[in-house]
Amino acid sequence: MNRTIDTRARMPRSVKISIGVLIVIAACMAFPNLFAPGALNQDIAQGTLPALSPGHLLGTDALGRDVLKLLIAGARSAMVGPICIAVGSILIGILLGTIAGWYGGVADWIISRYADITLSMPTLLLAIVAAGIIGGGYWVSVLVMVILYSPFDIRLVRSAVVAQKGKPYIESALVMRISTGRILSRHIFPNISMVVFVNFFLNIAYGLVSMSSLSYLGLGVSPGDADWGRQLSDGRGVLFDNPAAALSAGIAIVVTAVCVNIVGNWMTERSSLES
Amino acid sequence: MTDVLKYICKRLAEFIVSILCLAFVIFSLLYLAPGDPARSLVGTKQVTPELLATIRETYGLDDPFFVQFGHWVQGAVHLDFGNSIRTGAPVTAYVAPHAAVTFELVLISLICSVVLGIFFGVVSAKGRGKLRDDVIANVSLVGTSAPSFAVGLFVLYVFALKFGWFPIYGVGEGFVDRLWHLALPAACLTFAVSALLIKITRSALIPEMEKDYTMFMRARSVPTHEVQAAQIRNASAPILTSAGLVLANLLGGTVLVESVFSIPGLGNLLASSVTFHDVPVVQFIALTLAFIVCLASAIVDILAYIIDPTSRRRRMLRSRVAAENWDDPANPPASLPNNTEGGVS
C-alpha cells in the first residue's frame, strides 16, 4: 500500500493527464451509445457544415453527419484492432520467445532466424500490400499486423527469459525438480511480466498508427464507417468546407498515440528503476 | 580479415534468405486474393473460357505451386513481372515513370532526416536533463506517434490551403518548382523519420558519455570536439544499422504521404493498384521496395561491423593472442600490423 502512494506522488503531470485522456477514450470505446447516441444513423439532409455550427461543435462531414459523434463512435473501431494486435503479438511472443529462450538449441535457432528475417521486412508496406490484396476487411488486417509485430515480442521475451535462466533461483528450482511448466509460469513469468506488459502497451500505440494508416488507404473498413483513419480520408474531400472533419480525427489519433507512449515510457522508466 | 569476410558471407546469405521469403509472400498474394487467380488476371476484359485457358497457359497456372514460384522468380530476376491488369502494359514499363518522383521525395527526406535526426540527437544527449532535451524529446515523441498521413493532412491544410505558401497537389516542372512541390511531403516524412533517428542517436550516445574513456579524455583536457568525435564514432554502429528501419519507415510512409498530396509516385500507384487488385503491379512495387530495404540494411550491417570499434577490438585481441602463440619468425600473422592502430574504446 505504501508503495502505491509513493509512486503516485512521483508520477509526473504529463503521465496523469495521459492516463486521464486514455480513460476517456476507453469510456468512449466501451459505451459509444452513451456519449454519441445514433452516431451512424443521423439526419443527413443538411450537407457539410463548418465547425462551431449550432448543434454541431465540430461541424458535419460530407454526408452531413456530426463529426464529434462520429469521432466518439470511431474510438471503438480505432482502438479494438490495435489492442487485439498487441494481445496477439504478445501471446505469440511469449510462446515462441519462451521456447527459444528456455530450450535453446535448434528451436532457438529456427525461431531467432524467423524473427530476424521478419524484422528486416518493411512492416507497414507489407501490411498495406497483404491486407489490401487478401481483402476480407478489418480482422484480416489485424491478423497480418499480428504476424508482422510478433518478432519484436519474440526477441524481447527470449532475451528476458535467457537473462532469468542463469539466475540462482532457477537453478534451485531445477534442483528441487519443479516441473518446467511451473518454473516457466510461476518463477520466470512474474519476473519478465513487467517488461512484457510495457511492450504490450507500447505496441498499442504502434498498432493504432498502423491500423489507421490502413484504414486511411481504405483497407479494412468500408467508406463511411466510423473509424478515425477512415474519417481522415473521408474528411480530406471536404477540407475546404469543414477542415475539422479531417483534422479532429487526425488529432484524435495523434493524441491517443502520444498518451499511450507517455504512459508506456513512464512505466519503462519505473520498471528499470525497480530492477 | 577472415572474420570480416565470414561476417559478409553470413549477412549476404541472410539477405538472400529474407529476399526469397519476401518474394514467396509477395508471390503468394495472387493466390491469397479471393477468387480464381486466372480470373483476377483477366481484369476488366470480357471473361471467356478460351481467354481463361490462354491466361492459365501463359502464366502456367496449372503447374504445381512451387514450379510456378520458380518461374516467377526467374521472371523477376529478368525484371519480367507480367502485364498490368489495369492497362495491359508490361509492369516494369508501366511502373518506371512513377519511380523518379518517389526516389526524389525519399532522397530529400532521407538527407534531411539524417542531418536533423543526428544533429538533434547529439544536442539532446549533450543537454540531457536540461530544457532543450525535454523539448526535443517531446517533439520527437509526437513525431514517432503521429502517422504521416495525419501530419500530412495538417500541414496541407495549414500551409497549402490556409496560407497558400505551397501547392496543394502535383509535382511541378523544373528543379526549383519540383522542390517547392515536394517540400511539404518531404517535411512530413522527415518529421517522422528524424524523430526515430533522434531517439536512436540519443540512446546510443548517452552510454558513451558515461564511459571511462570520456572521463579520461576530459581529464587529460583533450579538446571537447575531439572527445565528441570519439563518442560519435563509438556510437555510430547502432545509428548506422538503423538505416534499414529508417528506409522501411520512409518507404512505408511515402505510400501514405503521396496519397495525401496526390503525388503520382510509386506509393500512390501501389495504393491504387492494391485497391484495384492489380496484382502484378503490386508484386513488382512491393518486391522492389522490400529489396531496397533489405539490401540497405545488409550493407549498413556489414559497414557497421567493419567500422565498429568493439568488433575491431575483438579482432585485435584475437590477433594479439595469435601473436603471442606465434613462434615461427619467418611467418608472422598477417593481421597483426593492420590492426594495431585500434580505436578509442
What is the per-residue pLDDT across A16-63, written as a single tens digit (0 to 9) for each?
Answer: 888 998 888 888 888 877 766 666 666 666 666 666 666 666 777 766
Whether B190 has a pLDDT exceeding 90, the answer reads yes
CATH code for the domain in which residue A264 is found: 1.10.3720.10
Q: What is the mean pLDDT of residues B38-65?
A: 73
Nearest-CA distance from A193 to chain B in Å? 24
Give A261's contacts in chain B (Cβ within 8 Å): 141, 144-145
* Grid cell in block for residue B209: 558519455
Nearest-CA distance from B277 to chain A in Å? 6
B294 to A212: CB separation less than 8 angstroms, yes or no? no
C-alpha to C-alpha distance for B308 and B317, rounded to whole angstroms: 14
> If you measure CA to CA, which chain A residue comes closest to B27?
A130
- Mean pLDDT (chain B, rounded): 80
Pick the closest to residue B275 from B253, B292, B255, B289 (CA basis).
B255
* Grid cell in block for residue B250: 520512409
Of A122, A261, A265, the CB nearest to B251: A122
Give A247's contacts in chain B (Cβ within 8 Å): 153-154, 157
Q: Residue B209's CB: how many other CB atoms inside 10 A?
A: 15
pLDDT at position B309, please? 58
* Phi and psi torsions of A60, nearest 5°: -125, 160
* Grid cell in block for residue B53: 485457358
User: How many domains does one find in chain A?
Assistant: 1
Asked, for residue A247, whether it belongs to a domain, the answer is yes
Give B150's contacts in chain A (Cβ within 8 Å): 212, 232, 249-251, 253-254
Q: Residue A3's CB: how many other CB atoms inside 10 A?
A: 8
Least confident piece of the model among A133-137, A181-185, B204-208: A133-137
C-alpha to C-alpha distance for A86 and A209, rounded to whole angstroms: 12
Whether A1 has a pLDDT exceeding 60, the answer reads no
Pick the closest to residue B109 from B65, B143, B154 (CA basis).
B143
pTM of the shown model? 0.81
Strands (DSSP E) contained in A157-269 are: none
Q: What is the mean pLDDT of residues B182-191?
A: 90
To which residue does cell 473460357 refer? B49
In this structure, what DSSP letter does residue B277 have?
T
Q: How does pLDDT run across A64-89, given as a tens digit for each residue? A: 677 788 888 888 888 888 999 999 99
Interchain CB contact of B26 with A (< 8 Å): yes
Q: Which CATH superfamily is domain B91-307 in?
A: MetI-like (1.10.3720.10)
B25 to A130: CB separation less than 8 angstroms, yes or no? yes
C-alpha to C-alpha distance for B11 and B297, rounded to whole angstroms: 10
Report the alpha-carbon angle B243-B185-B98, nearest 5.
80
Number of H helices, E strands in chain B: 15, 0
In this structure, what DSSP letter does residue A55 have?
T
Return the bridge partners of A60, or none. Answer: A66
- Structural domain of A199: 78-274
A125 to B277: CB separation less than 8 angstroms, yes or no? no
Asked, for residue A20, whether it belongs to a domain, the answer is no
Give A265's contacts in chain B (Cβ within 8 Å): 141
Q: How does pLDDT run across A107-131, given as a tens digit for each residue? A: 888 898 888 877 777 888 888 888 8
B153 to A121: CB separation less than 8 angstroms, yes or no? no
Distances (CA, A) of B221 to B127, B216, B226, B326: 20, 8, 10, 39
Interchain CB contact of B260 with A (< 8 Å): yes
Asked, for residue A262, whether it belongs to a domain, the answer is yes
Report the alpha-carbon angle A226-A230-A236, nearest 5.
120
A12, burial (CB in 10 Å: exposed 0-12, middle 13-18, buried 19+)? exposed
Q: How does pLDDT run across B112-135, given as a tens digit for each residue? A: 999 999 999 989 988 888 888 888
Return the bridge partners of B90, or none. Answer: B83
Q: Please, which residues have CB within 8 angstroms of residue B231's CB and are 6 or more apart in sequence?
A: B205, B208, B209, B214
Asked, for residue A270, whether it belongs to a domain, the answer is yes
B290 to A125: CB separation less than 8 angstroms, yes or no? yes
C-alpha to C-alpha distance for A108 and A103, rounded to whole angstroms: 7
Identity of residue A258: V
CA A200 to chain centre: 8
C-alpha to C-alpha distance for B135 and B140, rounded to whole angstroms: 9
Pick the closest to residue B182 from B287, B64, B267 (CA basis).
B267
Report the alpha-carbon angle B106-B112-B116, nearest 5.
145
A242 with A50: CB under 8 angstroms?
yes
In this structure, what DSSP letter does residue B211 have?
S
Asked, for residue A64, whether it belongs to a domain, the answer is no
Give the rounded percent of residues in chain B with a pLDDT score beyond 90.
8
* A177 torsion bin: left (phi>0), alpha (psi -120 to 50), beta (else): left
Asked, for residue A136, whether it belongs to a domain, the answer is yes
Least confident piece of the model among A260-264, B75-79, B284-288, B312-316: B312-316
Nearest-CA distance from A30 to chain B in Å? 23
A66 with A78: CB under 8 angstroms?
no
Interchain CB contact of B262 with A (< 8 Å): no
Asked, for residue A4, whether it belongs to a domain, the answer is no
A232 to B253: CB separation less than 8 angstroms, yes or no? no
Interchain CB contact of B14 with A (< 8 Å): yes
B250 with B265: CB under 8 angstroms?
no
CA B16 to chain centre: 16
> If you measure CA to CA, which chain A residue comes closest to B287?
A126
Asked, for residue A234, whether it belongs to a domain, the answer is yes
Of A125, A243, A258, the CB nearest to B286: A125
Cα dihedral A101→A107→A111→A116 (10° resolution): 90
B144 to A261: CB separation less than 8 angstroms, yes or no? yes
Dihedral sign from CA coordinates of A115, A118, A120, A122: negative
Q: Higher-confidence residue: A224 or A202?
A: A202
Q: Delimit the domains of chain B by residue range.
A: 3-77, 91-307
The DSSP H or E segment spanning A217 is none
Pick the closest to residue B297 from B250, B344, B253, B230 (CA basis).
B250
Identity of residue B33: A
